[in-house]
Amino acid sequence: MQKTRHIKPVRFIVEVGILVVIFTLVQYLISAGLLNQYYQINLASICINIILAVSLNLINGFTGQLSLGHAGFMAVGAYASVIMTNYMELPFIVGIAAACLAAALAGFIIGVPTLRLRGDYLAIATLGFGEIIRVVLQNIDYVGGPAGIMGISKMTTWPWLFASVVVTLVVIVNLINSSYGRAIISVREDEIAAELMGVNTTKYKVLAFVVGAMFAGLAGALYAHYFYIIKPETFNFLKSFDILVMVVLGGLGSTTGAVIAAIFITVLTAALQSFPAIRMILYAVILIMVMIYRPQGLMGNRELGRRTFGKVFGSLWGEEK
Amino acid sequence: MILMNIEHLHKAFGGLSAVLDFNAHLEEQELIGLIGPNGAGKTTVFNLITGVYKPDEGKIHFANQDITGLPPYEICRRGIARTFQNIRLFNDLTVLDNVRIALHKDVQYPLLSAVFRIPSFFKGEAEMEKKADEFLKIFHLYDKRYEKASSLPYGDQRRLEIARALATNPRLLILDEPAAGMNPNETAELMELIRSIREQFKLTILLIEHDMSLVMGVCERIYVLDYGQIIAEGSPEEIRNNKRVIEAYLGEEVS
Amino acid sequence: MQEFLQQMVNGLSLGAIYALIALGYTMVYGIIMLINFAHGDIMMVGAYIGFFAVAVLGTNIFVAMALAMVTCAVLGVVIEKVAYKPLRNSTRIAALITAIGVSLFLEYTTIFFLTPNQRVYPAEAFPVTNYHVMGLTLSSKDIFVFVSAVVLMIILQYIIKRTKTGKAMRAVSLDKEAAMLMGINVDKTISITFAIGSALAAAAGVMMGIYYNSINPLMGIIPGLKAFVAAVLGGIGIVPGAMVGGFVMGILETLVSGYGSSLYRDAVAFGVLIIILLIKPTGLFGKNTGEKV
**pLDDT value of position C125:** 67
Distance CA B225, CA B231 (A): 6
Summarize pLDDT for A101-154 with one digit per residue, the tens. 999 999 999 999 999 888 888 888 898 899 999 989 998 999 999 999 999 999
Summarize pLDDT for B20-30 with one digit per residue, the tens. 999 999 999 99
Instruction: Tell me which of C32-36, C202-206, C259-263 is least confident.
Output: C259-263
Its CATH class, for the domain covering B2-79+170-248, is alpha beta
Distance CA A179, CA B120 (A): 13
**pLDDT value of position A6:** 56
Average pLDDT taken over every residue of chain A = 89
Inter-chain contact A175–B90, Cβ cutoff 8 Å? no
Summarize pLDDT for A75-108 with one digit per residue, the tens. 999 999 999 999 999 999 999 999 999 999 999 9
Measured between beta carbons, the chain B residues lying within 8 angstroms of A318 are 117, 121-122
Mean pLDDT computed over C177-181: 92
Measured between beta carbons, the chain C residues lying within 8 angstroms of A146 are 263
The domains of chain B are located at: 2-79+170-248
Inter-chain contact C277–A117, Cβ cutoff 8 Å? yes
Counting as contact any 3 or more CB pairs under 8 A, the partners of C are A, B
Instruction: Tell me which of A167-171, A282-286, B77-81 is least confident.
Output: A282-286
Closest-CA residue of chain A to C264: A135
- With a cut of 90, say whether residue A319 has pLDDT above it: no
Ramachandran class of A139: left when φ > 0, alpha when ψ lies in -120 to 50, beta otherwise: alpha
Inter-chain contact A171–B102, Cβ cutoff 8 Å? no
Mean pLDDT computed over C79-107: 91
Sign (positive or negative) of CA dihedral C48, C52, C53, C59: positive
Closest chain B C-alpha to A117 CA, distance in angstroms? 16
Summarize pLDDT for C19-53 with one digit per residue, the tens. 999 999 999 999 988 989 999 999 999 999 999 99
Distance CA B63, CA B149 (A): 33
Please give the ipTM for the structure prediction. Answer: 0.92
Which has more pLDDT, B5 or C262? B5
Q: Which residues contact A174 (CB under 8 A, 6 or more apart)?
A: A314, A316, A317, A318, B114, B115, B116, B117
Total domains in chain A come to 1
Q: Residue C74's CB: how many other CB atoms inside 10 A?
A: 14
pLDDT band of B113, cuts 50, 70, 90: very high
CATH of the domain at A56: 1.10.3470
Average pLDDT taken over every residue of chain C = 89
Measured between beta carbons, the chain C residues lying within 8 angstroms of A120 are 33, 35, 92, 236
**pLDDT value of position A178:** 96
Distance CA C214, CA A154 (A): 40
**pLDDT value of position A318:** 42
Inter-chain contact A171–B90, Cβ cutoff 8 Å? no
Measured between beta carbons, the chain B residues lying within 8 angstroms of C293 are 43, 47, 52, 84
**pLDDT value of position A317:** 42
- With a cut of 90, say whether residue C10 has pLDDT above it: no
Size of interface B-C (CB pairs under 8 A): 4
**pLDDT value of position A313:** 47
Summarize pLDDT for A231-287 with one digit per residue, the tens. 999 999 889 989 999 999 999 999 999 999 999 999 988 988 888 778 889 889 988
Closest-CA residue of chain A to B150: A189
Comparing C-alpha atoms, which of B222, B217, B87, B94 is closest to residue B162? B87
**pLDDT value of position A117:** 86
**pLDDT value of position A298:** 82
Residue B221 gets which letter from DSSP? E
